[in-house]
Amino acid sequence: MATTASITLASSIMPNFGGYSKSMTLTEAGTSIDVKETTGYARRKLSATTKVDLVTMANLMVGEDTAGASHKIFIKNIGYNNVIDKSTGVKVFINSVEIGVLYGGDWLMMPIVASDAEDVEVQPLTDDTVVLEWVMFYKGA
């Protein structure tokens, strides 16, 4: 029961930058035990500039492990109706501290604490409709 994520970065900004790739297996904190819990893959459609919870930690199915804090979340801005608009961005927050903006097509993969109140929040920059896809992997309490 393994969960893996690999990244490949390529850029022509810096001459002779040969690119970069890395793969990781998602495990429980500080161990080689595969992570066992997931929210499942989900979509959320947003059409207003109101900040809303994307993931409410208190609602996780089996509670959350606040000690390990090695949970991972993936979020992707897929645009709307098969149109990916690079000018339509969505701010991502952890408990009201902004991480950054996912413009059309952008994605993130990051560790999160996942304790109560450390919710993942999102807020579109405009009221243009945009859809986020996301999945979280975590260790239950």
Residue 27 or residue 46: which is nearer to other proteins going by CB? 27
> Is there binding between residue 70 and other proteins (CB under 8 A)?
yes
Residue 110 or residue 131: which is nearer to other proteins going by CB? 110
String of DSSP letters for 48-110: SS--EEEE-GGG-TT---TTT--EEEEEEEEEBTTB--TT--EEEEETTEEEEEE-TT-EEEE
Segment 8-27, which members bind other proteins (CB under 8 A)? 8-14, 17, 20, 22, 24-27
Beta-bridge mates of residue 137: 38, 72
> Is there binding between residue 137 and other proteins (CB under 8 A)?
yes
The residue from 50, 58, 95, 140 that contacts other proteins (CB under 8 A) is 95
Residue at 103: amino acid letter: Y
Question: Which x/- pattern over 32-61 shows residues binding other proteins (rule: CB under 8 A)?
Answer: x--xxxx-xx--------------------
Can you read off the two tokens belonging to residue 31? 């161990």
> Is there binding between residue 123 and other proteins (CB under 8 A)?
no
Kindly state the DSSP code that residue 35 receives in the 8-state scheme.
Answer: P
